[in-house]
Amino acid sequence: MFIPASVQNSGCLYLHGFLSSPASEKAQQMMALYQEHPELGSLSTPFVHFSPTEAMALAESQLLELKEKHDKVWLVGSSLGGFYATWLAEKYEVPAVLINPAVRPFDLFRHYLGEHKHYHNGETYLLEAHHLDELEALHCADITHPKNLLLLLQTADETLDYRHAAELYRQCPAWVEGGGTHSFDGFIDRVPQMLGHLSRCLG
């Protein structure tokens, strides 16, 4: 795979979704990509905390660490990670790739208050009303740097209504596929589109 010169030696922060982890398939695919192409630079795949405030504090610190090491940084966010990545991309004016991103998770999660078992580590977490307030404080109602954001959507997402993301990110470059799942089937096949987007943003 050809890695554009403008993307080489950059820093990437990958943010997984709700109740997921760096052990998820897409995170593992990103790690494998960086192992195969070390010229890409550095990849950070932190465990995103259940608490939105703690999750954003960690994500922001990881992004700032990457910015200290690299002249160019970018983000990849899946589902709730895409919601977080949007806030960071807007604040720091850096490129991001958003995979079936959550748009208004504070509304969606009102129906899921209570205990939740983590998919990967088996721990139980309690989703409370203050978590929704923390999420709403991170909401970007309008996208001010649309060219920085590449939207990857699959229309058969069983968790999120893809039309919400299509509307919020309507001015952003996008790849929208019929069918698929919330996990975004065939994510690794979209790496060339991701690299093309990053090349335009970072070049």
Give me the CATH number covering residue 58: 3.40.50.1820
pLDDT, residue 19, reads 85
Q: Would 5 be classed as within a structural domain?
A: no
Q: Spell out the residues 6+ positions from residue 64 whose beta carbon is closer than 8 angstroms to its own.
A: none
Prediction pTM value:
0.96
Is 2 contained in some domain?
Answer: no
CA distances to 107, 110, 112, 152, 161 from 136, rounded to whole Å, are 9, 12, 16, 23, 18
- Residue 108 inside a domain? The answer is yes
Token representation of residue 148? 């920085």
CA distances from 45 to 48, 134, 146, 159 (A): 9, 22, 24, 23
* pLDDT value of residue 47: 95
Give the pLDDT of residue 162: 96
Q: Which pLDDT does position 118 carry in this prediction? A: 75
Q: What is the pLDDT of residue 125?
A: 83
pLDDT tens for the chain, 203 residues long, are: 889 999 999 999 999 999 899 999 999 999 999 999 999 999 999 999 989 999 999 999 999 999 999 999 999 999 999 999 999 999 999 999 999 999 999 999 998 888 888 777 778 888 899 999 999 999 999 999 999 999 999 999 999 999 999 999 999 999 999 999 999 999 999 999 999 999 999 98
Looking at residue 184, what is its pLDDT?
96
**Residue 82: how many other CB atoms lie within 10 Å:** 30
CA distance to 90, 104, 126, 166, per residue, from 46 (Å): 20, 23, 21, 27
Domain count, the chain: 1
99 within some domain:
yes
Give the Cα separation of 89 and 149 in Å (integer): 8
CA distance 2 to 4: 6
Q: Which two tokens stand for residue 174?
A: 């996008």
Calpha distance 147→34 (Å, rounded): 25
H helix or E strand, kind and range, residue 67: helix 52-69
Note the pLDDT of residue 112.
83
Q: 3-class DSSP state for residue 145? A: coil
Distance CA 176, CA 166 (A): 9
Give me the pLDDT at residue 199, please: 96
Distances in Å between the Cα of 56 and the Cα atoms of 96, 132, 135, 198 are 16, 14, 10, 23
Confidence (pLDDT) at 117: 80
Q: What is the pLDDT of residue 156?
A: 96
Question: CA-CA distance, 37 to 33, in Å (whole number)?
Answer: 6
Name the residue range of residue 109's domain: 10-202
